[in-house]
Structure 1
Amino acid sequence: MSNLRRLVTVPAIGVVLSAALLAAGCAVPGGTHQGDGSSTAGTPHDTTSAVPVEAVAPGDAGHRWAAAGSAVLTPGIQSNTQGAGQCTTNYVFVDDAGGVYLGQAAHCASLGESTETDGCQATSQPLDTAVQFTRHGSPRGAGTAIGTGRLAYSSWLTMQQLGEADRNVCAYNDFALIAIDPAHVDQVNPSLPYWGGPTGLNTTGTPAGDRVYSYGNSSLRAGLAALSPQRGESFADDSSLGGWSHALKSPTPGIPGDSGAAFLDSEGRAVGTLSTLGIGLPIVNNIGDISRELAYARAHSGISGLRLVLGTEAFDPNR
């Protein structure tokens, strides 16, 4: 089975799918969780439950969030990295200095050929590259600008600077942070559209058959919001991947441009970030393990107090 990256480049006319074939012997970033000690924050409004240090309840994040119904910058919006392509944002993050971030996939800033799938070797736009947030992007154009930011962290660039040698980390750590410009931070809400949450940070993964939930925003959907909510079912973990990759199937799988989108587990906890599309039957999506990606960023990004912000809206898997 071949795997495709899911980046979309939207020029003035038409759409070029910048999708990567799986390099021989090197899988493209995905995301499984393995290990002990899942941490949960209860409902998004429950600040008394134990929250892992890597996550923070919205009321404790040191920021006043826009109402979910009127917020402009949220998980699940379109991001367009200068010189690269269109992706989907995943979660909201904060730091000790009051900075607010949206996450996306590291490969959303890729400069290389579609076959460059090893994050320890692949080329990327540098830090501080401009990123524009948009809505209603389509094959006809990039859509309406709703905010701006800059590339503040890239797992690819960081792994190369560190000389990372772990094969699984190189293959599956596909995560980046966009620092939202201060002029736009009052327009942010951390809740995932449609589903609500996240309610916590999953550190144990999803067993085979567990339900997962996402919200993709590829420009190929031409701004049709009804096509964005996604439900999926996880496959069994591959223990050889060290907990960095998890595979799932969905009746409406993610497509190019959904890359980076958040995935929640059956309890609404943040479990992964969308990275690749496997071509075969069934079509398989691979998600990067957000607990591992975030831990790596906290250790090596230089961003003090980096934390994932839980949603203000309750998680509802029965919509």
Structure 2
Amino acid sequence: MKFTRALIALATVMTMATVSAPHAGGTVSTGSDGPFAGAIVSELIAPKPDWYTDALHTKVVAAGKQGESVPIPDAVDYPTSGLAFTGIRPGAWIIAPAGCTTNFVFGSAGNYSIGTAGHCTEVGDEVTLIAAPGVLMNIGETVKSVDNGIGNDFALIDIYPAMQQYVTPSMAYFGGPTSKGDPRFGDLVEHAGHGLVIGTGGTPRAGVVVYRGSGENGGDAFAWDGAATPGDSGSAVREATGEAAGNLTHLVVGDKYAPGVVAGTSIDRMLRIAGKPLATAPNLPNPLY
């Protein structure tokens, strides 16, 4: 537990130092009302990499609409993903419009969408992944984006018809989600995101739920004692038993949450925003499902 809390403290410093992206709210102190009042709240978003230029984006978008990928330029030095499985799935690595992570797949085969955090992308943005080592894939366009604080932070990306073939509902490291969950105090949860500090992208991390209840601006929030850093925003969080718990969006530090907890939006709230059913998968990790 002390090691986990040390990682959280490190994440806090890194967040305050590095959060800067087109849709980032950065680090803010909450007001006097609500469950996170008096704490410092940080969106766990990373900047889009400098090497991903407008010209490269135009090329990747054109390829994506045809169901094709584009190689990362040879001169680019980028971190290696630690994901077990690649493609368009929960836990995939978003690099544009900002550095974030995908959460769950919604809809059904041939009509899939995928989620991330609302503060990672705005409606109309074309979203690009590093979908496999050395491979860029523009997957589709953001059609819904809610960025109203902890418990009310989710975006839905509609995937191009030509890209539907690369979608799998199963998580990038764990199996599932097997169904919609209901995270409660004491539950063990886990996620795999693309934070900048803790290991390589996609390193799996676990935590214990310490809060479930009202969020900001009418949201439905949960929080857990775990570790996360910028780039983890949007990550799919599942219960250890396989059910979807929600997404990861913020670091909360200080006041009654000292030294800090990780927080996000419940799967119930995500489903209400998405307006599409959760796509499920067997609990055993499977690169093909």
TM-score range, shorter chain: 0.5 to 0.7
* Structure 2: unaligned runs, 5 residues or longer: 1-8, 44-82
- Tell me the secondary structure at the aligned position of residue 249 of structure 2: strand
Offset, 1:223: 8.0
Aligned to 1:73: 88
Aligned to 2:128: 132
Judging changes above 3 Å, is the alpha-carbon distance between structure 1 residues 145 and 18 closer, same or farther for their aligned structure 2 residues?
farther
Per-residue displacement from partner, 1:35-57 (whole Å, max 9, x unpaired)?
Answer: xxxxxxxxxxxxxxxxxxxxxxx
Aligned to 1:209: 186
1:93, 1:5 → 2: CA distance?
Answer: 32
AA paired with 2:225?
K
The size of the alignment, in residue pairs, is 224
CA contact 1:273–1:290 (8 Å) conserved in 2: yes
AA paired with 2:262?
N
Judging changes above 3 Å, is the alpha-carbon distance between structure 1 residues 147 and 6 closer, same or farther for their aligned structure 2 residues?
farther
AA paired with 2:194?
N
1:148, 1:297 → 2: CA distance?
Answer: 17
CA contact 2:103–2:234 (8 Å) conserved in 1: yes
CA contact 1:9–1:86 (8 Å) conserved in 2: no
Aligned to 2:224: 248
Aligned to 2:104: 91
- Tell me the secondary structure at the aligned position of residue 259 of structure 1: coil
TM-score where L is the length of structure 1: 0.59
2:176, 2:114 → 1: CA distance?
Answer: 15
Offset, 1:266: 3.0
AA paired with 2:250?
T
Between 1 and 2, higher relative CO (CA 8 Å, sep ≥ 6) is seen in: 1
Offset, 1:10: 7.7
Alignment of 1:1-319 (within 5 A): 19-25=26-32, 27=36, 72-82=87-97, 85-94=98-107, 98-109=110-121, 125=122, 127-135=123-131, 144-156=135-147, 172-202=151-181, 204-206=182-184, 208-218=185-195, 220-221=196-197, 224-225=200-201, 228-238=203-213, 244-250=220-226, 253-280=227-254, 281-298=258-275, 306-314=276-284
1:132, 1:240 → 2: CA distance?
Answer: 29
AA paired with 2:127?
V
CA contact 2:118–2:155 (8 Å) conserved in 1: yes
Judging changes above 3 Å, is the alpha-carbon distance between structure 1 residues 133 and 8 closer, same or farther for their aligned structure 2 residues?
farther
- Tell me the secondary structure at the aligned position of residue 184 of structure 1: helix
Offset, 1:107: 0.6
CA contact 2:223–2:263 (8 Å) conserved in 1: yes
Per-residue displacement from partner, 1:116-142 (whole Å, max 9, x unpaired)?
Answer: xxxxxxxxx3x22211112589xxxxx
Offset, 1:152: 1.3
Aligned to 1:163: none
- Tell me the secondary structure at the aligned position of residue 245 of structure 2: strand
TM-score where L is the length of structure 2: 0.65
* Structure 1: unaligned runs, 5 residues or longer: 12-16, 31-67, 110-124, 138-142, 157-168, 299-305
Judging changes above 3 Å, is the alpha-carbon distance between structure 1 residues 154 and 201 closer, same or farther for their aligned structure 2 residues?
same
CA contact 2:183–2:209 (8 Å) conserved in 1: no
1:102, 1:5 → 2: CA distance?
Answer: 28
Percent identity reads 30
Judging changes above 3 Å, is the alpha-carbon distance between structure 1 residues 205 and 7 closer, same or farther for their aligned structure 2 residues?
farther
CA contact 1:106–1:155 (8 Å) conserved in 2: yes
CA contact 1:7–1:259 (8 Å) conserved in 2: no
Offset, 1:173: 1.2
1:105, 1:309 → 2: CA distance?
Answer: 18
- Tell me the secondary structure at the aligned position of residue 175 of structure 1: strand
Offset, 1:296: 3.5
AA paired with 2:145?
S
